[in-house]
């Protein structure tokens, strides 16, 4: 037997509490800031999930392969050996000092360039997940960083082998790699949120970034020394990739990056973080519609 609620009179309707729902097509900047900050907090809490997704990406990428990601390590080792012999003769440099420098530079540059290029597709590659469920976008930025960190860990084997052959082990100054890697992690998150958002809206930016990375490889001291420029090396701090490489590479080569390099890195990082924060706050609600 069904019970029908009694019909409310006009007096009852007037005395009843009314809930008002206000829908806005364009929320305020403060509201967007709170939503973006909540996204970062929820993404940080899902760090174990990001780690699992990053490891899964590597397993799927090298599925059916015998060596797995060590194929990339092997190709990097062959490149170091070939370029080391060739350019040490071109630059008339002692191979014993040049090959450790080259191995370290190529491995570190591989991490930087891959993070930048893959950040362009951080959101578009996860299109099905973003459309199927509500997930913090910061999770996908962590996924890119973790995936490339695992690949970097595999490629460190090349550096270890070269250092062992030439007995060029880092000294106590290598402990200063830790703040450099911390800056790398923060910048990776910022560049992923920035380029991931831009490339989701404008798909033409991805090939532009790839072309710029190729240019940056040749104008950055990766396979050549900064000292070879002579007096022109004063313009190198204007290249943010040079500063990023120096804060990690120099301590491993028993040298100091210098205060100017650190000032440049901190300045570029602060600018990148501000741009990422403003862009992500402004466009976060639209990413799902742009995919």
For the chain, the straight-line distance linking the first and the last C-alpha, in angstroms and rounded, comes to 51
Across residues 17-27, what is the average pLDDT? 55
Q: Tell whether 29 is covered by a domain.
A: no
Q: Tell whether 37 is covered by a domain.
A: no
Number of domains in the chain: 1
Q: Please check the confidence at residue 13 and state whether its pLDDT lies above 50.
A: no
Mind listing the pLDDT tens digit for each residue in 193-236? 999 999 999 888 899 999 999 999 999 999 888 888 877 778 88
pLDDT confidence band for 65 (50 / 70 / 90): confident
Domain that holds residue 267: 48-290
pLDDT confidence band for 147 (50 / 70 / 90): very high
Distance, CA of 198 to chain centre: 15
- The answer to whether 93 and 214 are in contact (CB under 8 A) is no
Q: Is 78 buried (19+), middle (13-18) or exposed (0-12) by CB count in 10 A?
A: exposed
Query: Could you say which DSSP state residue 224 is in?
Result: S
The pLDDT score that the predictor gives to residue 2 is 46
Q: Tell whether 71 is covered by a domain.
A: yes
Q: How many Cβ atoms are within 10 Å of 220's Cβ, its own excluded?
A: 23
Q: Tell whether 39 is covered by a domain.
A: no
Q: Tell whether 260 is covered by a domain.
A: yes
Q: How many Cβ atoms are within 10 Å of 82's Cβ, its own excluded?
A: 10
Q: Tell whether 23 is covered by a domain.
A: no
Q: Tell whether 189 is covered by a domain.
A: yes
Q: Which residue has the tokens 């924060």?
A: 277
Q: Tell whether 162 is covered by a domain.
A: yes
Mind listing the pLDDT tens digit for each residue in 40-61? 999 899 999 999 998 988 888 8
């Amino acid at each position: 037997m069904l019970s029908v609620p009694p019909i409310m009179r006009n007096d009852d309707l007037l005395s009843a509490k009314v809930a008002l729902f206000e829908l806005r097509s364009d929320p305020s900047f403060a509201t967007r800031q709170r939503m973006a900050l909540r996204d970062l907090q929820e993404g940080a809490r899902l760090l174990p999930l990001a780690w699992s997704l990053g490891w899964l990406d590597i397993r799927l990428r090298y599925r059916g392969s015998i060596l797995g990601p060590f194929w990339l390590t092997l190709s990097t080792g062959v490149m170091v050996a070939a370029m080391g012999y060739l350019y040490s003769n071109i630059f008339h440099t002692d191979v014993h000092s040049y090959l450790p420098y080259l191995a370290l530079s190529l491995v570190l540059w591989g991490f930087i360039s891959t993070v930048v290029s893959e950040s362009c597709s951080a959101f578009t590659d996860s299109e099905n997940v973003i459309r199927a469920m509500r997930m913090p976008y910061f999770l996908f930025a962590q996924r890119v960083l973790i995936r490339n960190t695992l690949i970097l860990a595999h490629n460190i084997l090349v550096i270890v082998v070269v250092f062992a052959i030439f007995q060029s082990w880092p000294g106590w100054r290598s402990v200063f790699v830790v703040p450099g890697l911390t800056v790398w992690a923060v910048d990776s998150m910022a560049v992923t949120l920035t380029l991931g958002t831009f490339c989701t809206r404008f798909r033409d930016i991805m090939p532009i970034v790839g072309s710029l990375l190729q240019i940056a490889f040749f104008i950055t001291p990766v396979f050549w020394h900064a000292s070879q420029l002579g007096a022109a090396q004063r313009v190198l701090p204007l290249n943010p990739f040079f500063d990023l490489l120096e804060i990690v590479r120099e301590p491993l080569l028993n040298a100091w990056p210098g205060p100017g390099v650190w000032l440049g890195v901190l300045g570029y990082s602060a600018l990148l973080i501000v741009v990422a924060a403003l862009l992500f706050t402004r466009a976060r609600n639209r990413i799902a519609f742009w995919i």
